[in-house]
Amino acid sequence: PTRGHRITLAKWIVSKENPLTARVMVNRIWQYHFGNGIVPTPSDFGRNGEKPTHPELLDWLAAEFMETNWNIKALHKTILLSNTYQQASDNPDAKVVSDPHNKLLSRYNRRRLEAEAIRDSILY
C-alpha cells in the first residue's frame, strides 16, 4: 500500500463514523480497572464474541473518548470518578442472590493486591 492508502486507512480507523476502535479501547481500559470488560471477550467484538453487558454505557464512553480527542487520561478520570468504580466490595446477600456474577455491577469485585501495592501500603 502506498503512503496515501495508509493515511486514508488511519483516518478511517479513528473517524467518528467508525466507533469500533474507540469501543475496543474503552473496553480494554474498563477491563483494566474492573477486571472484566463491558464486552467480556475483549479480543473479539465480532460475531464469535459475546455481547456487551451494558451497550449504552460502552457507546457513551466511546463517544466521550472521541469527543475528548482520544484522551486516555480523561477516560481514566471518567471511569475512576464514577459511582460504579467507587462502590464498596462488600457482598450483601441480596446483591449476591440477584446478581451472583456481578454482571450488573451492583458491587465492586474483590481483587487481590499486587505485591508492589502491598509493599507501598506497608511503607506508607
The predicted model gives 99-122 an average pLDDT of 78
pTM: 0.74
**Model confidence at 92, in pLDDT bands (50, 70, 90)?**
low
- The mean pLDDT of 97-109, rounded to a whole number, is 70
Q: What is the pLDDT of residue 81?
A: 94
Quick one: average pLDDT of 42-51?
87
What value does the mean pLDDT of the chain take?
Answer: 86
Please determine, for residue 109, whether its predicted confidence score (pLDDT) is greater than 80: no
User: Alpha-carbon distance 1 to 13, whole Å?
Assistant: 16
Query: Residue 23: how many CB atoms within 10 A of its CB?
Result: 22
Q: Give residue 10's pLDDT.
A: 86
Q: How confident is the model at residue 35 (pLDDT cuts 50, 70, 90)?
A: confident
- In angstroms, the CA 37 to CA 92 distance is 23
CA 118 – CA 63 distance, rounded (Å): 36
